[in-house]
Structure 1
């Protein structure tokens, strides 16, 4: 494995907690939508060894055919890396592994039905890449559910809308915001509770979804507690993970 120096080409602070940035794509770098790669900074002026870098895995938000690698990142106040990332600007240097990893791939799901992508926080990144890759070639409809504490942390809706519109799939797509601590009633999402609880309470059925493995395929990406809770409620409804060559009805990935 080698580490490439890359340059920040785009950077936008959506608020004081989340940012979206892109870096130059190293020659020969390949990935599949849904995968992640380690990205980080150098700790010394002339880095040569692994210990000279501070790297963390981040889901890739861009499409494989784009000439950039994009990330959607949340600031961790006591984190080692993200405070440094939030201090960077366009033109600065970052470092990227040459290999992407992860098995949260649409191809590991049974085809057909409605694909529902459940994300907490910046776990949403991978789903932007997946939506850009025409998931309708495998599924009839696509729904993205983004769970965050407050409405101000749900900041990629326009990016999803643009990607969907460019593929002419507006009628086959829905974005659902879920807020858990939004103090302003006028800013609450369609769901105003934790998503696993909303499933248990039948909220998705009230929105017109039959949340069973006969009709739905699920993808889950987010913090470990969110992923574990989602896996439990889906398993209780009969959803199964892939096993070897056998396709599943849900796949999941923790983002740390």
Structure 2
């Protein structure tokens, strides 16, 4: 018997495609509900029917705001109820998309600043892909710094797309500079990459040295997404530098979101 989901709450969409980066990392796309709105950096709630019930999970949207489809970046959790089911789906399978979007980690909330720092571990990269696909963010900031920390080099998903973004931005007349810093923690880093955790490289100045940009109160605005331990430590480091969390009524230099 079909599960009853309120049409006011969610729309039954279809899985369009699945791209597997590794045996545990995947990007998948769904059709987009009519009238669905989101701001780059926000997340959606998706539902799958499992044993006669709809199981819901939150995933950051990685597609551009005006994309005709919705894209997400996910890790398959061993024995995880939702991702184990997701891992078995073929294109055409039903996926429920809640009609509301969520989250406050969006760059439009910053009222000033010259350099946008985006710090991600693992699949915390997802919202930053969507953000970098928006031309407005390339106009708002002079420099865009994306830091992606993973355990193994094959987990650097989206590398080719990120490398192409600067070329595409130049062709569109956008002048912001994109700095892509890729970090490894479990194996030696190749030339041009960095070794170590985000928080360690923040504390010893390696991230600033690699970009030539100061991560300071006046110019830097920071977004951090990923492992909760990383996010907590980043908050502490930024507060030590005199930065404050972004406030709803304006002001503040950083915003964070826990995301595995």
Q: TM-score, normalising length from structure 1?
A: 0.91
* Alignment correspondent of 1:36: 43
Query: What does residue 24 of structure 1 align with?
Result: 31
Structure 1 gap ranges (5+):
46-51
- Mapped pair 1:156 → 2:158: yes
- Residue 43 to residue 177, structure 1, CA distance change in 2 (3 Å): same
Alpha-carbon contact 1:60-1:126 (below 8 Å) kept: yes
Q: How many residues align?
A: 248
User: Is the aligned partner of 1:176 residue 2:181?
Assistant: yes
- Contact 1:31/1:100 (<8 A) preserved: yes
1:38 is paired with a residue of what secondary structure? strand
Structure 1 CA distance, aligned partners of 2:201 and 2:243? Answer: 17
| CA RMSD between the two structures | 1.8
Task: State the match for 1:250 in structure 2.
Answer: 254
Q: Is contact 1:108–1:248 with CA below 8 Å preserved after alignment?
A: no
Q: Is the 8 A contact 1:6 1:95 kept in 2?
A: yes
1:219 matched to 2:223? The reply is: yes
Q: State the match for 2:5 in structure 1.
A: none
Mapped partners of 1:12, 1:23: distance in 2: 12
Per-residue CA deviations over 1:104-153 (Å, capped at 9, x if unaligned) read 01122232311110011111110011001121221111011001111111
Cα distance in 2 between the residues matched to 1:43 and 1:137? 44
2:237 corresponds in structure 1 to 233
From the superposition, tell whether residues 241 and 95 of structure 1 become closer, same or farther in structure 2 (CA, over 3 Å): same
Q: What's the counterpart of residue 112 of structure 2?
A: 111
Matched, 1:11 2:18: yes
The equivalent residue for 1:49 is: none
